[in-house]
Every structure is written in C-alpha cells, then in structure tokens.
Amino acid sequence: MDPSIQSQLTHRKENIYFAFVLLFSILTYIFLAFSIIGIVIIAFMVLISVIFHGLMMGGIRRNGVKLSEEQFPDLYEKAVKVATDIGLKKIPDIYVVESAGILNAFATRFFGRNMVVLYSDIFELIEREGEKEVLFVLAHEFTHLKRKHVIVSLLLLPAMWVPFLGNAYMRACEYTCDRYAAYYVQSLDAAKNALTILAIGKELYSKVNQQAYMKQLETESGFFVWLNEKLSSHPHLPKRIYSLSILFASDTTEVLSEPKRKVWIGLIIAMFSTILVSTGLFAGYKTLEKVDMFSEIFAGLEGTTPLMDAASSNDVEELQVLLDEGHDIDEVDNDGSTALHWAVFYNSYEAAEFLLEQGANPNTQDSYDTTPLMSTVFMDDIEMAELLLQYHADLSYVDTDGLTAYDYAVQYESNNFIQLFDSYLQE
C-alpha cells in the first residue's frame, strides 16, 4: 500500500469528537464531585464496571484458548508482527472463545493487561483460507489498544450515555481501526472481506458483489436508516467498506453519496411531531389542573351526581358522607340510572352492598326499564347478581324490549346465570 496513506489512517473526526466527549465527561465528573451523592455515584459506576468486567474476563481467561508459540503458532507469529508494526510495545493476550454463531471480537484492558478476544466463528476462517481476514480483525482490535480507546473509555463514560455524542466518537474510532488494520495487514481485499463476513456470515461472503453492496448507501436511505446509524456505536457496514475503498483504491472506486432529502424530510417531520406532542402534553397538564372544573361540567351534561361518582369508584366512606349530607339514595341521572346502577356498571361490590344495606331499591329501572340485575347479565358479573338476589332483586321485571334478566341469560347462553336464576325461582 501507498506509504503516504499512513498519515490519513486516523479518521479526521475522531480527535474532534474526542475533544467534545472529553469536555462533557470532565464537566460531568466535576459537577458530581461537588456532592456526596455525586461521589457515591461515580464510585458506584466504577465499582460495578470493574466487577462485571472482571467476572467476564475471568471466565474468558480460564476457558478461552490463548494463542501463543505453542497454540496456533503460525497465526500467532503473524499477529505478533502486525501488533509490532502498529506500534504496540507489548503484545496483548489473545484469546479465542466459542461464540454460538456470533461474529465478533473486542479489545479490552484488565488490571494493566491488554487483551483481545476473538470469537470462534471468526477464528475458524483460518481453516478456509481466510487467515488475512482474521489478521484484519485482530489488527482492528490492536488499534483500539494502540489508540488508547479502551483506557479512556472509563473517563468518557458519562458522554457514552448521551445520544449521538458518545456514539459519534465510537463510530469515528471504528473507521480509524479499520484503516489501521487494512494498512498493516497490507490487504484491502481482506479488510473488505472481513467486513462483508460481519454482514452475511463466513459461508456466503465470497459470493457477495461488494460493489452492489456499497451502492446500498444510495438505494437504502431515509430518516430511520440515518437515525439507526446515529444511535449506533458502529458505522453501517457498506459505509465502512466504502470508506476503506475510497482511501486505499480511490482511482477504481465509484463515488457514492447518501441521499439526504428523505433524511431532512424525516427530521422536519420528527421535529414537527415533537412540537405537537410537547404542546399536547403541556395542554394535557393544564387540563389536569382544571380537572375538577371539567368533571363538574361533564357531570352536569350526564346528570351524574357525587353519589354516583362515589359508587362508580367504590368509595364507601364517601357514600356514607353524602348520604349523611342528605343525598337521595335513589336519585337518577339523565338516563334514569341510580347510584346502584353505577355501582353495578363499575363492578363496585362494596359500594353496591352498602347502598343495598342503606335501602337502595334493587329493582330500580332506568329510562330503558333496565334493572341492575339485567346489567349483571350484560356484564357477565355472577357475583354481583348473587348480591342483588340476596337483597330481593325481582326476576320478573321486564325492560322496554319485554325481556327479563332470565331471558337475557338464555339469549346469551349464560349457563351460570340460568342455574343461579333457576335456583331462586324454585325457592
């Protein structure tokens, strides 16, 4: 590869985003440090990170296969050379772990030791003439260590929780690592193949038309495609392949550009929707402040009374207070329903029993001549029906359609109600 490219290996946005995330994180730590709670939060974050990371790495160190002069020596020798070329003064420990089909690798640091973990489905490429692809993946992770991405991750932790900002920095780091890896493995094809493997797997990657795949940058676009990447720690794979192709083979790479029109339209719609939702929430909040006034208005329109409201909410104490104040237990709303009707409508058993004990008429009929007992059949509330019958609800009452509660039970094929009504009719 062209040696002049070496000065372009670090992605131009990495240092810019690093400055932003570093500034944000430092300010956050300073803010937290001014309070005991903040210091506790910082200590807790660090402790939890160390414990969980330690547990995971402990298992990997014992169970993973560690590459060495005795373990896969040929690949290890080449990995050592790549790590040395990249500039690592000490060769990191390299482990291979079973991956259950997951294609991935990662670099980490644990108590002063640099480590690279390679998942087995990637490592198995060495048996399929994919050794350079494996070296690209290793070199990518070596670069994370060389560029200190792992060491600074704890310092930058607060910024990592900020949507867009932390992810933008991590995506820039990924571009940098791709470039370093392709340069020091000395194979653009291996780099592109390795990234294609992440997209479709090790069985089919060799059959992928990479040019057509890169063109998806133009054909597969829109607001949600854009947003998905902005919320991700890794750039989209066609974009990573295209970025490498432009850097290392610009003369043979077709220039592509992502359409932005749909993105802008989506952003405008999203902003407009956010404004509408915010306005709606504010209006809803203001409405809740006046809920008592609106409740009175709606109550007036329906003709409901405080007694009916208490019955529907199963508030026995309020019912007692209202009756003591002189409310009529059989007062009706605009539909002729009483508080007992409302208690039945809302399955308010305690309220219904209280009203019946206080003398509410169990056979009261509304404007449609519907009794509370008929309503229990409509609502399939056998327990409420039993309560009404205990207080002498009459099965002979008919509504405006000439039907009784028993007739509705037969009509709805409600066997439980039929059996209940039969038992009372036989007494």
- Mean pLDDT computed over every residue of the chain: 86
For 236, 302, 326, 344, 417, the CA distances from 362, given in Å and listed in that order, are 69, 22, 20, 11, 17
User: What are 297's two structure tokens?
Assistant: 């208005």
Q: Residue 51: pLDDT above 60?
A: yes
pLDDT at 175: 96
Q: Residue 39: pLDDT above 80?
A: no
Q: Is beta strand 93-97 parallel, antiparallel or unpaired with respect to 105-110?
A: unpaired
Q: Residue 301: pLDDT above 50?
A: no
Exposure of 318 by Cβ count < 10 A (0-12 exposed, 13-18 middle, 19+ buried)? Answer: middle
Residue with token string 């009509």: 411
252: left (phi over 0), alpha (psi -120 to 50) or beta: alpha
> In percent, how much of the chain has pLDDT > 70?
91
Q: Which of 41-55, 292-306, 362-376 has the lowest mean pLDDT?
A: 292-306
Q: Which of 48-52, 206-210, 261-265, 380-384 has the lowest mean pLDDT?
A: 261-265
Q: Residue 306: pLDDT above 50?
A: yes
pLDDT at 188: 95
Q: Are 42 and 32 in contact (CB under 8 A)?
A: yes
For 181, 291, 322, 398, the CA distances from 318, given in Å and listed in that order, are 75, 19, 6, 32
DSSP letter for 37, please.
Answer: H
DSSP letter for 2, please.
Answer: -
For 306, 312, 329, the CA distances from 325, given in Å and listed in that order, are 11, 19, 11
Q: Are 184 and 82 in contact (CB under 8 A)?
A: yes
What's at 349, amino acid-wise?
A: Y
User: What are 143's two structure tokens?
Assistant: 């670069």
For the entire predicted model, the pTM comes to 0.61
Q: Residue 42: pLDDT above 90?
A: no
Q: Report the alpha-carbon distance of residue 178 to residue 196 in Å, rounded.
A: 13
What sign for the dihedral angle of Cα 64, 66, 71, 76? positive
Cα 115 to chain centroid distance, Å, stands at 31
Query: Residue 244 — very low, low, confident or very high, per pLDDT cuts 50/70/90?
Result: very high
DSSP letter for 348, please.
Answer: -
Largest CA distance in the chain: 104
Beta bridge partners of 119: 97
Q: Report the alpha-carbon distance of residue 31 to residue 39 in Å, rounded.
A: 10
Q: Report the alpha-carbon distance of residue 252 to residue 187 in Å, rounded.
A: 15
Q: Report the alpha-carbon distance of residue 246 to residue 410 in Å, rounded.
A: 78
Q: Residue 272: pLDDT above 90?
A: no
> In percent, how much of the chain has pLDDT > 90?
50
Instruction: Count Cβ atoms below 10 Å from residue 152 Cβ, excluding itself.
Output: 15
Q: Are 97 and 64 in contact (CB under 8 A)?
A: yes
Instruction: Count Cβ atoms below 10 Å from residue 51 Cβ, excluding itself.
Output: 10
**Structural domains in the chain?**
3-258 (no CATH), 303-425 (1.25.40.20)
Q: Report the alpha-carbon distance of residue 258 to residue 268 in Å, rounded.
A: 18
Q: Are 407 and 375 in contact (CB under 8 A)?
A: no
Render pLDDT for 118-144 as a digit per residue (tens, 0 to 9).
Answer: 888 888 888 888 899 999 999 999 999
Q: Average pLDDT of 365-377?
A: 92
pLDDT at 111: 67
pLDDT at 156: 76
Q: Average pLDDT of 27-51?
A: 76
Q: Are 344 and 372 in contact (CB under 8 A)?
A: yes
Render pLDDT for 183-232 as a digit per residue (tens, 0 to 9).
Answer: 999 999 999 999 999 999 888 999 999 999 999 998 998 888 989 999 89
Q: Report the alpha-carbon distance of residue 167 to residue 62 in Å, rounded.
A: 32
Render pLDDT for 96-117 as a digit per residue (tens, 0 to 9).
Answer: 998 766 667 888 876 678 888 9
Q: Are 150 and 111 in contact (CB under 8 A)?
A: no
Render pLDDT for 1-21 as a digit per residue (tens, 0 to 9).
Answer: 666 788 889 998 999 988 888
Q: Residue 425: pLDDT above 90?
A: no
Provide the 3-class DSSP secondary structure of residue 258: coil
Q: Average pLDDT of 236-246?
A: 95
Q: Are 341 and 373 in contact (CB under 8 A)?
A: no
Q: Average pLDDT of 268-277?
A: 78
